[in-house]
Structure 1
């Protein structure tokens, strides 16, 4: 599962340390009012997540699983219904002043650079916008030039007068990244940062994000549906399904030995996968009507095949909810069947000993 432009063996992963997290979410929930008398939609339904300084975490899942809502809540763009967010050890305030200060330190990079950039603004104005909003007191021209150069647009002055339509897709995404970098943030939240780009350009943008981590110590939350991208860039991966993280851990561990049936299904359709792809039945349930028990059980290939029954957990899968996974880097899974297998392996090992 490698990409020649961003082979994971060519960049160091951040190792787990006792360093306090830069960003921490605890018990985070975001609900939206239901339509036409429907119950509220539980878009984020209990999430713990830590991101350490200089760490890249990939948040992975199908469209509609809640990952973009979670990312926006972590940036203060969507108010949480419940739970707590802390940045650099301090609770995130909800006042305009507190959020303004926070957004200098945590910046969003959107999926579609064409939609992110005003077609009437030059590259210079697009990058300088954040400085003007936050009242930058230094040399604006020098700050814009430095941000563009860090984003790989050199010489930066050549790009100052250009408009978005005069740039390639990759160049437009670099302008968006420069607009985030100009404020000197500590955290980037990148929502599908390469989904709209040609395959030939994706590796360049991923390599740029890795270089920014190395040079500036930037942490990043990369929101994606692509597990291959997570392999190439992330230190840790969190797999999300129907508003909750169902498996998390170091990226090599999760993606080479996935324990949750949902993670296994996502990996089975990658080009590098061996064996038959797992075709999940139906669509994810409506977040206003989350099923009882494991929220994945209605589509679970393990339950459908009878393996969960043989493991003695089929009833639990259908009726018993699983607790929220912790936000740390430890390998965790929210699956009755996976835990039963682990328990059986421990019992077998102790008996053999």
Structure 2
């Protein structure tokens, strides 16, 4: 993908106040990320790594503590009128279609809701029918008067996607879009998202803990750990030749992975007490095995921040060991 990014973040930090005098939690701790027109980016990491908080910031639901979000070259403004206009162009697809659909609303009303909120003028019925058809519910009129409980999980997710499409957005933010679906349906929904990208030129940020999903849908992947992106690049590069030990550990537990799975020690640190040096060093299998010591970077791993990838889409990794063994420079600090 070339050209200017559609959406961009620069040095975004999001902190939440600690309770009872505890330190602030640094949920997002300096993130640069670009999404270009027609590009699908997968944001990958364990639960609690900050990826959903970052996604909420991109939707304007959370205002960054510091840093900036820009869309189509303009800074995101958090006034009510500006956000309303922005949300015509950027739409959310949630993980659980049952939770995001009102059980008392018909499919027609669920899809038409966005049009009514934004004061659509025109043939509402035709627009709703077109959105349902694009989402794979055909003939659309057959679904107008159905309720969510009358649909399968895959059909409910298609209704949610139709509700996003009805406003003709340029970017979808999909938070675990197939996590609640049966395996047999997941491929259909992923194929639908790819088809919508090809037909409509949509961009998408897909938030997931599943690297297998990233492989199947994304052009580029950004791996997040404890509030920061630690590795980014084209999906084929990152998932076939991972450079960061954390990415290697995530990949090692996939069913199709060769070799022994990497079992990380302990839990991710508290985001209110981020360790010095590389934030992954306390769980790092490369440091624990002595490989970092042999590469001469063990002390740096424990004491020196490896910096953050700059978000431009070029392959980058925030890891002293990777840079020492590959002979590259580090990301920006």
Q: TM-score of the superposition, structure 1-length normalised?
A: 0.92
Q: Aligned partners of 1:116, 1:254: CA distance in 2, in Å?
A: 33
User: 1:43-77 CA deviation, whole Å, 9 max, x = no partner?
Assistant: 00000000000000000000000000000001101
Structure 1 CA distance for aligned equivalents of residues 177 and 20 of structure 2: 35
Separation in 2, partners of 1:35, 1:338:
37
SS at match of 2:19: coil
Give 2:249's aligned residue.
Answer: 265
**Is residue 171 of structure 1 aligned with residue 160 of structure 2?**
no
- Report the RMSD for the aligned CA atoms in angstroms: 1.0
| Post-superposition offset of 1:300 | 0.2
Moved beyond 3 Å, runs of 4+: none
Query: Structure 2 matches for 1:181-220, cutoff 5 A?
Result: 181-220=165-204
Question: Shift in Å at residue 328 of structure 1?
Answer: 1.0
5 Å matches for 1:231-250?
231-250=215-234
> 32-41 vs 147-156, which deviates more?
32-41
Q: In structure 2, what is the equivalent of residue 143 of structure 1?
A: 127
SS at match of 2:108: helix
Q: Match for residue 84 of structure 2?
A: 100
Q: Equivalent residues in 2 for 1:281-320 (5 A)? A: 281-320=265-304
For residues 186-219 of structure 1, the C-alpha deviation after alignment (integer angstroms, 9 at most, x for no partner) is: 0000000000000000000000000000000000
Secondary structure in 1 matching 2:86 = helix
Instruction: Indicate the larger mover: 108-117 or 89-98.
Output: 89-98
Measured after TM superposition, the shift of residue 329 of structure 1 is: 1.3
Task: Measure, in 1, the Cα distance between the counterparts of 2:123 and 2:272.
Answer: 50
SS at match of 2:327: helix
- Matched residue, 2:331: none
Q: How many residues align?
A: 329
Secondary structure, aligned partner of 1:204: helix
CA distance in 2 between partners of 1:147 and 1:343 (Å): 50
> Given the alignment of the two structures, is residue 329 of structure 1 paired with residue 313 of structure 2, yes or no?
yes
Matched, 1:339 2:319: no
Structure 2 unmatched runs, 5+: 329-333
Alpha-carbon offset, residue 177 of structure 1: 0.2
Match of residue 56, structure 2, among 69, 72, 75 = 72
Question: Within 2, Cα distance between the matches of 1:335 and 1:233?
Answer: 26
**Deviation at residue 94 of structure 1 after TM alignment:** 1.2
Partner of 2:31: 47
The 5-angstrom pairing of residues 52-63 of structure 1 reads 52-63=36-47
Provide the C-alpha distance between the structure 2 equivalents of 1:313 and 1:38, rounded to a whole number of angstroms: 32
Instruction: State the shift of 1:36 in Å.
Output: 2.1
TM-score, normalization: structure 2? Answer: 0.98
